[in-house]
Amino acid sequence: MKIRARARIRAIRAALRGIRPTTPRIGAQKAGSIWGRRAKRRKGIAFSDIVFACVIVFLFAPLVVLLAYSFNASKGGSFTGFSLIWYEKLFLDSGDLWRAFGNSVAIALTAALAATVLGTLAAVGTSRYGFWYRGYVKTMSFIPMILPEIIVGVSLLVFFAGVGLKLGLVTVWIAHTTFNIPFVYLLVSARLDEFDPSVVEAAHDLGASEVQTLLKVILPMSMPGIASGFLTAVTLSLEDFVITFFVSGPGSTTLPLFIYSAIRFGVSPVINALSVVMVAGTVLLVYPLRNFLKAFAAR
């Protein structure tokens, strides 16, 4: 008991001085777990929980409004009665929309695949070896993530014009692969940093070749990272508007671009219905993944 109290005081002093506590955490796997980190909560409603509740209302309000309007019998304006007319239009009378959707899916899957292959290989390389351009790889995998999309979009447009590549599905695919790579790289790297490098050494010592080690040890072990990288890439790609806006040409309209032009033409209740279908679809798709997501976020 005494030791624990002393350790605590040392930690708090260190923290007050702005230094991370160096107190040995005896046998604790996760910081603070021996002290029952979540054991005590004050009674009553905390300020932070009120903020959280307000944020949830704020985040969901627009979606609820969309849901309500999607069942509205009239076009925009006040609510005149329940109707499924916009859903009917969406599914039976929206050829362009579904073509755009098809483009989006095709590009998302192929771009995510390419990014996953490139990003995973690079992550394996930089996590296990030091080599002369390792710093370059790391930097180049970080910058595209933080650079505003408009810059990436504009520079790619100028680049494609410069090399004479006609804007279309191919340029969109290249652009999407490019902005997907850093995310795959980051996620796979994080996974690779986690596992014990001696396993790989053991495989080598037991006579496995580099390719065998890669295929039988490294890749299977980093599968969670690779899978989340791929899924992230797919969703990023389905979602992207700004970059796609610059690098798409005739015949390569993606769903976000289609929605954009629909919005520009004014309120279109079909978009309400589409939004509801998309939200419902994502929730159904994502809900089973939530524990996985939490495990990742809380690591």
Partner 1 sequence: MKRNYGSLYAAPQSIWLTLFFAAPLLIIIAYSFMKRDIYGGVVPQFSLDAYEAIANPTLLTVAWRTLWVSAIATLLTILIALPCGYSIARSGNQALRLFLIIVPFWTNFLVRIYAWIAILGNEGFINDALRALGLTTQSLRFLYNQGSVILVLVYMYLPYAILPLFSTIDKFDFTLLEAARDLGATRMQALRKVLLPNIKGGLVTAVLFTFIPIFGAYAVPLLVGGKDSYMLGNIIADQVTKTRNWPLASSLSMGVTVMTGIAAILFALRGRRPAQRAPEETGLGPIAAASGMPSGGQA
Q: Is there binding between residue 170 and partner 1 (CB under 8 A)?
A: no
Torsion sign over Cα 168, 173, 178, 182: positive
Member of 112, 167, 175, 226 binding partner 1 (CB under 8 A): 175
Member of 80, 88, 96, 142 binding partner 1 (CB under 8 A): 142
> What's CA 6's distance to the chain center, in Å?
43
Q: Which helix H or strand E contains 125, and what residues bound it?
A: helix 95-128
Q: Is there binding between residue 134 and partner 1 (CB under 8 A)?
A: yes
Q: Which stretch binds partner 1 (CB under 8 A): 34-42, 80-88, 92-100, 105-113?
A: 34-42
State the Cα–Cα distance between residues 239 and 125, nearest whole angstrom.
29
User: Contact 74/80 with Cβ under 8 angstroms?
Assistant: yes
Cβ within 8 Å of residue 179, ≥6 positions away: 144, 149, 152, 236, 240, 243
State the Cα–Cα distance between residues 133 and 52, nearest whole angstrom.
44
Q: Which stretch binds partner 1 (CB under 8 A): 37-45, 85-93, 94-102, 105-113?
A: 37-45
Name which of 90 and 122 has its Cβ closer to partner 1. 122
Q: Is there binding between residue 204 and partner 1 (CB under 8 A)?
A: yes
Closest separation in Å from C-beta 247 to partner 1: 10
Member of 159, 168, 170, 249 binding partner 1 (CB under 8 A): 159
Closest separation in Å from C-beta 223 to partner 1: 15
Tokens of 11: 């930690």
Beta bridge partners of 82: 72
Interface residues for partner 1 in 260-299 (CB under 8 A)? 260, 263, 267, 271-272, 274-275, 278-279, 282-283, 286-287, 290-291, 293-294, 296-299
Binding mask 70-109 vs partner 1 (x if CB under 8 A, - otherwise)?
------xxxx------------------------------
| Strands of the chain, DSSP E | none
State the Cα–Cα distance between residues 251 and 189, nearest whole angstrom.
36
Closest separation in Å from C-beta 187 to partner 1: 5
Phi, psi of 53 (to 5 degrees): -60, -45
Member of 189, 248, 252, 253 binding partner 1 (CB under 8 A): 189
Closest separation in Å from C-beta 59 to partner 1: 4
Closest separation in Å from C-beta 174 to partner 1: 6
Number of residues that bind partner 1 (CB under 8 A): 127
Q: Is there binding between residue 242 and partner 1 (CB under 8 A)?
A: yes
User: Contact 71/84 with Cβ under 8 angstroms?
Assistant: yes
Tokens of 2: 């005494």
Q: Is there binding between residue 183 and partner 1 (CB under 8 A)?
A: yes
Q: Which stretch binds partner 1 (CB under 8 A): 80-88, 93-101, 105-113, 156-164?
A: 156-164
Q: Is there binding between residue 121 and partner 1 (CB under 8 A)?
A: yes
State the Cα–Cα distance between residues 126 and 186, nearest whole angstrom.
11
Closest separation in Å from C-beta 196 to partner 1: 16
